[in-house]
Amino acid sequence: MCWGDGLAVPPHIHSIGGDVGRYVVRRSLQAIPMLLLISVVLFALVNIAPGGPLAGYGRSRRMKPQKAEMLKRQFGLDKPLPVQYVVWLIGNDWMRVDADGDGIAESYGTRKGILRGDFGFSFRTRRPVLGEIMDRLPNTVYLMSVTFAVVFILAIPIGMISAVRQYSFFDIAVTTFSFAGQAIPEFWLGLILILVFYTGLESPFTGQPFLPSGGMYTLEADFSLWDRIRHLILPVAAQALGWIAWYSRFLRSSMLDVIHQDYIRTARAKGLRERTVLSRHALKNALIPLVTMFAVDLPYLFTGAVFIEMVFSWPGMGRLYYQAALQRDYPMLMATLVITAGIIISSSLLADIAYAFLDPRIHYD
Amino acid sequence: MRNPDSTEHRPEGLATDVWRRFRRHPGAIAGLLVLSLLMLAIILAGLSPYDPETSDIPSRLQPPSWEHPMGTDPLGRDLLTRVLYGGRVSLLVGFMVVVISLVIGAPMGAVAGYFGGWIDNVLMRITDTVMTLPSLLVLILLSAILHEVEVPLFQRNSPMTIALAIGLLSWMTTARLVRASFLAIRERDFITAAHSVGASHSRIMIRHILPNVIGPITVQATLEMGYAIMGESGLSFLGFGIRPPTPSWGNLLSNAHQHLARHPWLAIFPGLMIFLIIISVSYIGDGLRDAFDPFKVLKQVGEI
């Protein structure tokens, strides 16, 4: 872990190319069984339950048993579960299927399977699931990116100052705030913000509510940057507060770890200015664990998106998922979960790889 | 040879020790006080003159007053009574989730950490996989499935069903924590000594290692309770948890959403209760962490 004081670089760093390369490959290969396991579990959950996935499909109209039987054959639900799983995964265009539901398999299937990006059709809208998700995903990513830009811009300086002035008034205030900030449910904070800034306060200029309570922009209005920003303020604030509390506390302890290390003393002994020591030497290393933490936190971010998009009528993936769940739109639910899990697993893969490059001290065995 | 630093205390000795250090944490004491008061109020909710589910239309949507300290809801029911009954759901779910995550997580972590090798590898890959699932989304899916079908044991709208669903998705941190502690402690001399006198694996795990892990487990269980309460209220807020007329802090808030503009008290009080309980629990957890110093054991063997 520790290398000699005289060495600028740890000795094993010269072999980093091969080392990290092998590590990246091994780590990527680990992600595949994880995704497969998740897909099996999801598939089992939806299909083993009595009623099966068609429970949500036939709900709107009373269905005759013959019709239900026919639908079952058309969807391939009369086949054994493992076969259904394989079809869901890789499609059925290589096998004969019973397209008209008369009990005779006569033509090749048309499904391509989720591995080839075919998530089937939504029960609710009868449109391809992937298209629906791709319509909404950018809105969620947009809201999350703005939120996390705000979170890091605020949390990094707060955590850093708090660590440098440990036990000062500022530090104690920050620590208290971080407990409080993490205890506020984001959906409640959202309601309170709407209460204050939409129903409570009026703009002194227009007499209209101070801030809009939902949506991404004013409908039937021309594009305006200011309008977009106004619509972002409340959802971003509601989601960001807890994360600012969490990351400022995390960075504070990470920074405290770093500033007590020998190389910081060395930097000070060289006569560097305190500012330089802290921002150049200490902060850089204190930020490294943040990369891993962010990857660990990603699942919770998607959780938060559901609440925020619900409270603020944000047309994103969280809201789409919520609506799909209300109507038991299983293809949509499964697709959203698989895609979300895929995003999360690949991000944590990226974070681990980034970590390997950022921190040459870690070993790959 | 006895190691003077080892955590070999008699049971009452450890408890006194922990309590002495816990008392020095002002936040933890305040949290314990608030939590006890809330729990007392929730337990005594039956003494309220109002019924939590019977509507009383003439006195609907009254602002807070002496008769109704938190006001009344759109059906004229006393909000304070409903909030206290909702607290029963939250505490029950919180407690059950802690039990479930201990029952699943502790043996899993213990076996993984104690035996290591391929067992550890398999168990930890499973843990990692469950950890990457966005739990709320899976809970919503589970709830949607359970709503559709009649499954024995899984009664709809019951706190137990919700607790089981949340519990199945929240044992992973406990498992990892227990594993790390077992991994560290199994290398120590007193374990080798136990092996040499012929103690069985299960005896070593339960009698020799487990007592050393009580600290981290207690801290984690406390925090887990907070997460579970937050999870239940979130799920109920979205309409996939406890459904009206049974009150729960989450569904009270979701009801308030529609009345936000003119009757804000409906939104303020249930949320305040969630906030108070979560912040108390996290301060208590922090106090326990300091009191137990759960990383002492790991530090002694050079794990951190």
State whether B134 and A328 contact (CB < 8 Å).
Answer: no
Q: Which residue among A49, A199, A326 places its CB closest to the CB of B149? A: A49
**A56 chain-B contacts, CB cut-off 8 A:** 148
Instruction: Please state, in angstroms and rounded to a whole number, the distance separating the CA atoms of residues B241 and A75.
Output: 31
Q: Which residue among A34, A49, A306 places its CB closest to the CB of B238? A: A306
Express each pLDDT in A317-348 by its tens digit: 999 999 998 888 888 999 999 988 888 888 88
Average pLDDT of B175-183? 91
Which residues are CB-contacts of B146 (< 8 A; sequence separation ≥ 6)?
A49, B154, B156, B161, B165
Express each pLDDT in B42-78 by its tens digit: 988 888 888 888 878 787 778 888 888 888 888 878 8
pLDDT value for A115: 84
State whether A182 and B282 contact (CB < 8 Å).
Answer: yes
State whether B141 and A183 contact (CB < 8 Å).
Answer: no
- Look-up of token digits 């109704």: B68
User: What 8-state DSSP symbol labels residue B204?
Assistant: I
Number of Cβ within a 10 Å radius of residue B301: 13
State whether B275 and A183 contact (CB < 8 Å).
Answer: yes
Express each pLDDT in B119-163 by its tens digit: 999 999 899 888 888 888 999 988 888 776 666 666 667 888 889
Kindly identify which residue of chain A lies nearest to residue B138, measuring between CA atoms. A337
Kindly identify which residue of chain A lies nearest to residue B278, measuring between CA atoms. A183
Distance from CA of A312 to the nearest CA of B (A): 11
Distance from CA of B194 to the nearest CA of A (A): 31
pTM: 0.85
pLDDT value for A363: 57
| Cα→Cα distances B302→B183, B184, B295, Å | 12, 9, 10
Strand partners, A97: A107
Cβ atoms of residues A71 and A58 within 8 Å: yes
pLDDT for residue A53 is more than 70: no
Distance from CA of B125 to the nearest CA of A (A): 8
State whether A192 and B268 contact (CB < 8 Å).
Answer: yes
pLDDT for residue A42 is more than 50: yes
pLDDT value for B167: 93
Strand partners, A96: A108
Express each pLDDT in A64-110 by its tens digit: 777 777 777 777 777 788 888 888 888 777 777 777 777 777 777 77
Q: Which residue among B138, B150, B238 places its CB closest to the CB of A310? A: B238
Express each pLDDT in B13-22 by its tens digit: 677 878 888 8
pLDDT value for B151: 62
Cβ atoms of residues A274 and A222 within 8 Å: no
Distance from CA of A288 to the nearest CA of B (A): 17
Alpha helices by DSSP H, B63-78: none
State whether B134 and A195 contact (CB < 8 Å).
Answer: no
Express each pLDDT in B193-250 by its tens digit: 888 898 888 888 888 888 888 888 998 999 999 999 999 999 999 988 888 888 899 9
